[in-house]
Structure formats: structure tokens, C-alpha cells
Structure 1
Amino acid sequence: MTRGIGWYVHHQGAGHLQRARAVATHLHRPCTIIGTLAEADTTGLDVLDLPDDRPLGNGAGFDGNDGEAERPEAFHYAPLRHPDLRSRMARIAAWVERTDPALIVVDVSVEVALFARLLSVPTVVVRLAGERTDRPHREAFRSASRVLAPFPASLESPGTPDWVRAKTFYAGFLGGSRPALAGDGQDVVVVFGKGGEGGDLGALAAAARAVPERTWHVLGPVSGLGETPVNLHLHGWVADVGAFVAKAAILVGGGGDGLVALAAAYGKRFLCLPEPRAYGEQTEKAEALHRLGAALVRPSWPVAEAWPDLMREALALDPSIIAGLYDPEGLEGCAAFLDGLAGEGGLR
């Protein structure tokens, strides 16, 4: 019987699960998705659902740290007396004992990476963008057989240590296959993901009024009250984001992996508004895109009067630069890398 791969996915946002699903379809061995998945769409996937280990009670504003004064320096999150955390680790251990996986991909959790090492299972630790040079991250990378970066090497953070770079497989963007490029559209497409706070209706309406010659399509959550101009359309959650992106002249949104991957895959002029994330994940990625000339970057949602000039600046971008960051064989290459590591005679 072929030994399978476990793939742990973090609960923050939708990108971790989307990445695992996309790569798993190209693997040549069984893959079990592991995580807090009760509210996620896991249709067609083999899953190990875990209890939610976030703070007991109200977890609003949770920053990934447990607040324990005596937490070991190798951990980010190891709260005491948390029964769901205890239960999730027990379920992972039981699954490992039962299935004897060849490999566990950890996207992302320092604690799960180190726990898998204690269970004597080889790991591939996913390394997101940002300054991840703190001790817990370093120990997770050190414990791993390899490190996987879901972005091209050209977006690497300048502060990443050489030994981490040497251990890293740069998989490129893993957001799905490249579509047939449709050329320039006419619309402004704004995307808010599941990991952020969403859009403000007043700010969106003001931007749309400032650029009345363009039709604005907004995907994802929007809050607030007010009148909506005729050129502004709010769609909420949509099943096929790519269908809207394909018609965009300009794509607007944060610096999350999924949206940056879409901008690259479709070769779209991109106005990147990085959202606050731990370790400067989106900010670091946005700065790299700016250095390459692949995107226009602003630190927050622009004021209404700035939008006409922003449109002109964004339209002056060369879309071939961001399109050049996309590897159409990235998913297959990542799956082949993992299959190779997990293969007989590979990692034990």
C-alpha cells in the first residue's frame, strides 16, 4: 500500500486550504488534509478535522500568540489547560500511528511542525512571505526536511538567512492553472479575501464616483451604509473569482497569496493594498512586487481624490512583468517535488 501525505492547513483565510487542494490534485499518492475544517468546503477531499484551538471564549483579534509568560521560546502558541488543543494533538498522533504517512506538509504552524518531528515523521514546512526569522520559525525550518515557499524566488525577503534559502524549494504561486489570457478588460475589480476586514461601502462608493468612466466590481465582504453609484456593483462571495479578474483592466486588493497569484496568472495590472498580517507577510510581498515594477502599491485604501491619478499610474504598468512571475507548471512541479520526497527510498 502506498504511504500517503498529510497536509496541515491553518485556519486563517482561505488560501492555505486552496493551496493544498490545488497541489493535491496533482499528487500521485493519497493526501489527507488536516486542520479545523468544519466550516470549510472540503468536497472531494480526504480530511482529518481537528477541534479549534483558538483562545477559549472570544477569540476576536487573536494574533497567534498565547500570552503565556513561561511559554518555551521555540513556540508561538502553546496555551496551558486548553482541552481542544490537547484533543487536536491527540488526533494528529492517532492518525500518524494509524496511517504511517510518508510525509507531512505543514502550512502553517510551528507547533505542528515540531510535533510531527517528535512523531518521527518527515516534514515539509511552508514558509510564507515576511520576516520569519524569529526563534520559533527558525526552529520549525531547522526541524523540517525541506522548506516550501509558495512564491517565486524573485519575491524572497532580503532578511531571509542563507541556510533557510538553501533549504527552500521555491514552488512559485500555487493558486491554480493559468487561463487562456483574454487581454485587457475595461473594469476595475476589487477583491477582499476571507482573512481580512473587508471593504467599506463609503470608501468604495467614493472611489467609483471619482472614476465614473469605469465599471467597478467588488468581490467579498463589504460593510457600511450609503448610496451605491450606478457604476459600482457589489457581488459578495463568488464561486469563480477568475471570471471577474479576466475582465479587469485593473485589479485592486491585498497582498495575500491567492490574489497575487491571480494577478500573475491573468497578467493583470495590479494595485496592491497590503493588509496588516503577522511578520509583515503582505507588506514584504508588496514591497517586492513594487521593486520589480510588477504592481502599484499603496499602504491603505486611497482617498477619493487620489483615484484618477492612481488609475493612470496603474494603466501605465507593464502587465508582462507580473505575468512573468507565474509558472504555468508550478502545481505539477510542486507535486513532483513532494512525491519525490515521499517516495520509496526517499525520506524515512
Structure 2
Amino acid sequence: MTRPIGYYVHHQGAGHLHRACAVAARLDRPCALLGTFAGLDTAGAPGPVIDLPDDRLADGFDGRDGEVERPTSFHYAPLAHSGLRARMARIATWAAEADPALLVVDVSCEVALFARLLSLPTLVVRLAGTRTDLPHLEAFRSADRLIAPFPEILESAATPDWVRAKTHYAGLLGPALAAPSGDDGSIAVVFGRGGAGGTLADLAAAARALPERDWHVLGPVTGAAAVPANLHLHGWVADVEPWIARATLVVGGAGDGVVAAVAARGKRFVCLPEERAYGEQVEKAHGLGRIGAAVVHEGWPEASRWPGLVAAGLALDPRRIGALSEPGAMARTAVLIAERAAWWERRGDAAPA
């Protein structure tokens, strides 16, 4: 019988789940998704969903998990946390019962290292940013292979050679597009689930600075302010792609999903990287700026800056960002996962007879 694959999904934002579902749907063997899915729609999952107990602290992170005493090979390991204990026990039980060929980890250093202790081969997703700290390097060392959801041209200069050599550069794992892009002169502003969203006063000021263009805002917006006629608030939408397809210019962070969608459509892009651990979005954004694929501004711009930023964005050659999109990237990644699963399946159990 063909052994299944597991896919661990991080709870931050919706991008990890979307990527997992898209890759899992292309696999040639069963794939179970494991993670904490509270508030996320898993109806589209192509296989079993293992909802894990939540291991988060009620008052947040910021080192409050016992940073002083925590082993240096972990990022997060609070003591006396029943949720974390139950979470790891559930992963171990699933591994023992399902006998998977391997586990894709997107992302968690602790789960990657725990899988190694379970003698379970892993493919670890390696996000952008400077990840040369000990927990990341130990997770990378423990993995069979690493998967980078970005093209090699955006690689960090700080990444060690041995990590690069172990990495499969998957490229931007974005949607498959069936129809050509249009262009209605609008600006699409995209806020993902993983960030703080936008502030209405800031958005209104930006729209007033360029009254000749319609601004379509996708994602959460907080605060109160008068809404100009050219500012359209759509809130959370299940699929931002149609709005991106119509826009002349896209404004958004440097999250994997947004960048992949913009590149797939070859849209001019003003990138406002959000604060993330290890400089993930800032480093990726500056990589895009370095190759002429985006105009980059850290933080939300003052209203007076918007005319210049939009003008600079419209002057971009959209072929630069479009060249980063590979229609077969998702399929190539699924092939890698399937090949490594088959290799470990052929290898069999290394325990002595």
C-alpha cells in the first residue's frame, strides 16, 4: 500500500494553508494536513485534516515562553503548557498510525526537529529573510531537503552555501491563470490575513492624493474617517485575483501569496513590506526592488508621497516581475515531494531485523 505524506501548516495567516492545499492536490498519493486551523476554511483540502491542539500562549509570544531557560536550538518551547504537550502527542500518534513516507513542514523549527526524533523524514519549507540563527540551521540540517517558495534570484546573501545546496528553489507558488489580464486604471490595495491590515484614515488620504484613480482595498481596515468617492472597501475576500487582474497597479506587502499573484499577472507593484520575523518581507521586497520588479517603501507612506510612488510604479517594466512567475512551479514542487516520498518508501525501515 502506498504510504501517505503529511503536510504541517503554520497558523500565521492563510498563505501556508493555501500553498499546502495547492501542492497536496497535485500529489500522486494521500496527503494529510496537520495544523491549528481555527478561523481558516479547510473545506478545499484535498485530503484528511488533522486539527492540532493550540500551543499558543494566551498573552502572546515575545520571549514569554521561558527564553532565559529555553534550549538555544528552539524558538518556542514553553514549559507546563498542556496545549503544546497535546499537540506534539497528536503529531506522534498520527505518525505512528499513518506510517507516512515523509512530512512537509511549512513552517516550524520545533516540528521539524520533533519529526527527526520520530525518525520521520522531512522536507522543510525555508521562507525568505535572514534565517541563520541556530534553531533554523538545526531544522535545516535535520531535513532531507529544503523548499524555498521563491526564485533563487531573491536569495539572501547571508544564506550559507550548504543551505543553498540543499534547497529546491520552487519559485513563486502562485495560482494557475486561465484568462489574460485586463487594465481598468485602478489601484488594488491588498492586505493579507497575517498582518494588521490598513487604517481607514491612511487609505482615505492616499485616495485623495490621487483622485483620478479608483482604489480597491481588499482585506481588513480599522478606524474611522470620511471615505472619498474613489475609495472602495471590500473587506476580506476569498479570492483577490480578479481585482489584481483588473488593476493597473497593485499595492501590498511582500507576503508569498501577494507577490506570487502579482507576478503571475505581470502587474506593476508598489511593495510596502510588513514587519515579520527575520526580516522576511523586508528582505524579499528589497530583492524585488534590486531587480526592478517593484517600487519599495517601508511603512505606510505619507499622503504627499503617493503621487510619486504611483508614478514610479507605473514606470516599471512589468516584464521584470512577470519573469519571476513560472506556470509549472507548483507541479515541479509536487514532483519533488512525490519523488522524495518514493525514495524513502523504497529505502524502507532502517531498524535492524
TM-score above 0.5, yes or no: yes
* Structure 1 partner of 2:50: 48
* Structure 2 partner of 1:322: 321
CA separation of 1:146/1:347 partners in 2, compared to 1, >3 Å: closer, same or farther? farther
- The structural deviation recorded for 1:65 is 6.8
Q: Is the 8 A contact 2:66 2:79 kept in 1?
A: no
* Structure 2 partner of 1:308: 307
**C-alpha separation between the residues in 2 aligned to 1:347 and 1:53?**
33
Q: Is the 8 A contact 1:127 1:150 kept in 2?
A: yes
* Structure 1 partner of 2:20: 20
Correspondence 1:206 to 2:205: yes
Q: 1:314-348 deviations in whole A, cap 9, x for unaligned?
A: 10000011000001000110000100000142686
CA separation of 1:338/1:65 partners in 2, compared to 1, >3 Å: closer, same or farther? farther
Query: How do residues 83-232 of structure 1 correspond to structure 2 at under 5 angstroms?
Result: 83-232=82-231
- The structural deviation recorded for 1:181 is 2.6
- The structural deviation recorded for 1:227 is 0.6
Give 3-state SS (helix, strand or coil) of 2:346's partner. coil
AA at the equivalent of 2:49: V
**C-alpha separation between the residues in 2 aligned to 1:147 and 1:64?**
27
CA separation of 1:64/1:125 partners in 2, compared to 1, >3 Å: closer, same or farther? farther
* Structure 1 partner of 2:346: 345
* Structure 2 partner of 1:58: 59
Q: 1:89-139 deviations in whole A, cap 9, x for unaligned?
A: 000000000000001000110100000000001000100000000000000
Q: 1:246-283 deviations in whole A, cap 9, x for unaligned?
A: 01111001110010001101110000000000000000
AA at the equivalent of 2:29: R
Q: Is the 8 A contact 2:251 2:269 kept in 1?
A: yes
**C-alpha separation between the residues in 2 aligned to 1:175 and 1:126?**
15
Q: Is the 8 A contact 1:188 1:216 kept in 2?
A: yes
**C-alpha separation between the residues in 2 aligned to 1:179 and 1:236?**
25
Give 3-state SS (helix, strand or coil) of 2:19's partner. helix
**C-alpha separation between the residues in 2 aligned to 1:138 and 1:65?**
23
CA separation of 1:346/1:267 partners in 2, compared to 1, >3 Å: closer, same or farther? farther
* Ranges in structure 1 where 5+ consecutive residues have no aligned partner: none
CA separation of 1:205/1:26 partners in 2, compared to 1, >3 Å: closer, same or farther? same
Q: Is the 8 A contact 1:63 1:278 kept in 2?
A: no
Q: 1:73-100 deviations in whole A, cap 9, x for unaligned?
A: 1100011000000000000000000000
Give 3-state SS (helix, strand or coil) of 1:345's partner. helix
AA at the equivalent of 1:226: A
**C-alpha separation between the residues in 1 aligned to 2:27 and 2:120?**
19
CA separation of 1:53/1:240 partners in 2, compared to 1, >3 Å: closer, same or farther? same
**C-alpha separation between the residues in 2 aligned to 1:321 and 1:273?**
18
Bigger shift: 63-72 or 88-97?
Answer: 63-72
* Percent of aligned pairs sharing the same letter: 63
Give 3-state SS (helix, strand or coil) of 2:248's partner. strand
Give 3-state SS (helix, strand or coil) of 1:227's partner. coil
- The structural deviation recorded for 1:235 is 0.2
Moved over 2 A (4+): 62-68, 178-181, 344-348
